[in-house]
Amino acid sequence: MQPKRIPLGAGMDFVGDVHGCYEEMMEGLQLLGYQNTGKGYFHPDNRKLLFLGDMMSRGPESLKVMRVVMDLVNQQIAYAIDGNHNWKIVRYLMGRNVKMAHGDERFVEELDQYEKAYGEIKTEHMKEEITDFLLSCPSHYIVTHHGKDVAVAVHAGIRDQDIGRDSKEIHAFTRYGYTDGLDDNGKPIRKDWTVFHQSDVLIIYGHDPTPEPTVIQRTMNIDQGCVFGGRLTFLRYPEMKIMQVDAKDDYAQDKEHKITKYFRG
């Protein structure tokens, strides 16, 4: 799939990693001014949303999050890009041999509960819809204004030379970032790709949670670890206004995740 250029239009609201945090996402959409008439979503100023991948998994309500995100995209109010958990979930739904652990098993549990409540036929339809949607998410979007590239939305990172291009290697980089093997615990060793960014284009990404939005070399990380008890961050562009919603809980309970100490003492 080729990356897409999309117009800035009346403004773009970027959404950090939601990870199934439905209540926080809905509170944020309300703060941003998005409304649901019952027949569909809209924004009075015609703004649009862009989800930075990993909308589901680890958190408590992935299916409800996906229902809203898919409706928003179908109604042309939002865009969504790929992420490493997107990729893991879609492979699981396609029957691949994927180990659902480290919070991903909560998505499986939700599917089981959904089937108990609504039956096998509706569940299969939901799984097919999510699969098709996730496979349609590009590796990154380029936001344009008056014919000029002004921002790039990506999940984990991107190299300057790869902006506007795609390949298996590039897609892996945008999902996982700059990695160099695994540590003794089997976790990816992450390296800093942001220091190599030289162009004027703003790169907006998530994936690797930080206590506060982090700006380096015209890049901005807006994943503040909502699922780990942090905050769900929204970036209003071009205003560069940060809006945040505090997590209702530390859903992941991941004691190994360093972000937890910043929010849970």
What pTM did the predictor assign? 0.91
Q: Which two tokens stand for residue 60?
A: 């408590």
Interval 183-198: pLDDT, tens: 555 566 667 888 889 9
β-pair type (223-224, 231-237):
antiparallel
pLDDT tens digits, 131-154: 999 999 999 999 999 999 999 999
Domain boundaries, position 250? 4-263
How many whole angstroms separate alpha carbon 141 and alpha carbon 52?
Answer: 10
Number of compact structural domains in the chain: 1
- Residue 75, CB half-sphere, CA atoms under 13 Å: how many? 21
User: What per-residue confidence (pLDDT) applies to 264?
Assistant: 39
The one-letter amino acid code at 254 reads D
- CATH code for position 176: 3.60.21.10
Mean pLDDT in residue range 74-82: 96
DSSP of 75-139, one letter per residue? TTSEEE---HHHHHHHHHHTT------TTTHHHHHHHHHHHHHH-HHHHHHHHHHHHHHHHH--S
Are 58 and 17 within 8 A, CB to CB?
A: no
Environment class of 45 (CB within 10 Å of its CB; exposed 0-12, middle 13-18, buried 19+): exposed
- DSSP state letter for 225: B
